[in-house]
Amino acid sequence: MHYMANIRKLRRSIPLNGRGGMGKHGSSAARRQALLLACTLVVTLPAVAATVPPGEKVAQGSNCFSCHAVSHKVVGPAFAAVAKRFAHQPGAKAMLIHAVKYGHVGTWGDIPMPPHPDLTNEQLNEVVSWVLSISPAAEKTAAAPAKTYTYTVNGKKVALDFPVYKPGTKKVTPTVFRGYELYNSYCFRCHGEDAMGSEYAPDLRTVIKNGMTVQQMTQIAMTGIKAKGMPSWAGFFSPKDLNAIYQYIAGRTYHLVPQGIPPE
């Protein structure tokens, strides 16, 4: 069941890796990345099988964790918040099964959840039962105040809420480096190599300069803008991957990260 979903994901990744080609830099790193992605999808399955409830396994095998987390809002609401809201409502289960199967919008905001026509009724029942079984206490609301990292570039100060470099060096953090690898494997063919923009899609440096947050970028990347040719990456990337991509592009935006392979 979720095994099929993983095979589907692998299939989806093949044209992305093969057809688009790699950036002119770091192609072996990118290929290594793609292979790693492919391997972990398959290899981690037996390890989790013993302890994870069936509904959570359905969620892992589908695309749920691209947009949801148990404890906090990502693109969609925290699963703990869903459990809290519908805990004692008769008929909630059937209503939520319907929402996941056919897609939904309007209860939590104006971002739509896509439909999941590939899940069987049994899988839908399992995954929604699991969501409803989550303790409402698992929700975390108080976000820690963000730390600020200030850099001076060409006499101008840039303040970010994440570090671009390892402390005391000009070498990028592992997160920024991973963002470079992912961006130049998957985003570059439309948004331009090294986040330089292209004729196919907007220059994401300008988009960040104009104020797009990591939450907003994650939402657009997971939802996609299908009518305009921007794919949905739900089921392929985690929010952590999108965070890394965002940090890399922000580094490029403020001239903190050079073109090509960043110093590691």
Q: Which residues bind ligand HEC (CB under 6 A)?
A: 59, 62-64, 66-68, 75-77, 82, 96, 99-100, 104-109, 111, 113-114, 116, 127-128, 131, 186-187, 189-191, 200-202, 204, 207, 217, 220-223, 225, 228-231, 233-234, 245
Which residue is associated with the tokens 């809420």? 161
Q: CA 214, CA 247: separation in Å to the nearest integer?
A: 8
Q: CA 31, CA 53: separation in Å to the nearest integer?
A: 33
Q: CA 50, CA 114: separation in Å to the nearest integer?
A: 30
CB atoms within 10 A of CB 252: 24
Q: CA 64, CA 67: separation in Å to the nearest integer?
A: 6
In the complex with ligand HEC, which residue's Cβ is closer, 166 or 203? 203
In the complex with ligand HEC, which residue's Cβ is closer, 234 or 256? 234
> Encoding tokens for residue 230?
């921007």
In the complex with ligand HEC, which residue's Cβ is closer, 173 or 223? 223
Among 260, 245, 254, CA closest to 194: 260
In the complex with ligand HEC, which residue's Cβ is closer, 169 or 199? 199
73 three-class SS: strand
In the complex with ligand HEC, which residue's Cβ is closer, 6 or 63? 63
Q: How far is the CB of 95 from ligand HEC (least distance, A)?
A: 6
In the complex with ligand HEC, which residue's Cβ is closer, 103 or 170? 103
Residue least distant from ligand HEC (Cβ): 76
Q: How far is the CB of 171 from ligand HEC (least distance, A)?
A: 24
Q: How far is the CB of 150 from ligand HEC (least distance, A)?
A: 25
The DSSP bridge partners found for residue 230 are 225
Q: CA 33, CA 236: separation in Å to the nearest integer?
A: 13
Q: How far is the CB of 155 from ligand HEC (least distance, A)?
A: 29
Residues 256/153, Cβ–Cβ less than 8 Å: yes
In the complex with ligand HEC, which residue's Cβ is closer, 116 or 178? 116
Q: How far is the CB of 251 from ligand HEC (least distance, A)?
A: 14
Q: How far is the CB of 165 from ligand HEC (least distance, A)?
A: 22
Q: How far is the CB of 7 from ligand HEC (least distance, A)?
A: 17
> Encoding tokens for residue 1?
């069941």
Amino acid letter at 138? A
Which residue is associated with the tokens 């209860």? 107
